[in-house]
Amino acid sequence: MKLSKIHLKSRMTAILIAVLVNVQMTQAQEIYKAEGPSAAVQLRTNGLYDLALCPNVGLEIQTDLGLAFQLDYAGAWWNNQKKNRYFSNYGFQTELRYYFASPKMDFPFTGHHAGAYFQMATYDFEFGGTGYQCKDLDKSIGFGLSYGYSKPVSRRLSLDFTIGIGYFTSKYTVYKPSGDWYKPTGYKKLTWFGPTKAEVTLVWNLNKNNNR
């Protein structure tokens, strides 16, 4: 199969996921407007991914019970065909999180928290002529438990520090590029149990009643 066709398919899927994230954000804003202080909404980006040149955006909705639902999307496309270097990935992560502090909708998303998360991703990495590709979301998945702490730094902004321990598995193709084509040289499977999530996240609280 041509690399260009695979990359086009990956980008179209990534665009679709991005649209779904945007729809979720719009729905969250409508929920907030309708329910007022019974629900809080925040936007987020993981600084560790940003440093790795992988743009990402997330949405979190918290109820007055201390429970929060989180949806994150990340995606990147970088390439230098002349040097056989390629970095492409996209995926999403969902998490159900519980904040231990008594919920105060004027100051949501703060303090210690724990959660359970699920991850799916695709990738295509090529360095110096050898590539590693997983083009299907359902072939690269992970799940686990997380723990973290969120600290306000201003009226609207806070920093969230989170680590997750869990299981990750991925089936991928090893290939050698040849022009616009690639030649598979093997099919492998990665299985990992350990740290599968790390976040130093900048969060923006959209709650209009926050008086910080």
* pLDDT at residue 2 tops 50: no
Q: CA–CA separation, 45 vs 55, rounded Å?
A: 8
Q: CA–CA separation, 116 vs 68, rounded Å?
A: 11
Confidence of residue 122 (pLDDT cuts 50, 70, 90): very high
Separation in Å, CA 5 to CA 23, 40, 76, 106 = 27, 41, 17, 49
pLDDT 10s digits, 136-188:
888 999 999 999 999 988 888 999 999 999 999 999 999 887 766 778 889 99
* pLDDT at residue 5 tops 60: no
Query: Angle at Cα 116 formed by Cα 139 and Cα 158, nearest 5°?
Result: 110
Q: What is the pLDDT of residue 161?
A: 97
Q: Which two tokens stand for residue 145?
A: 């438990």
Amino acid at 94: T
Cβ-contact 158, 149 below 8 angstroms: no
Share of the chain above pLDDT 70, in %: 73
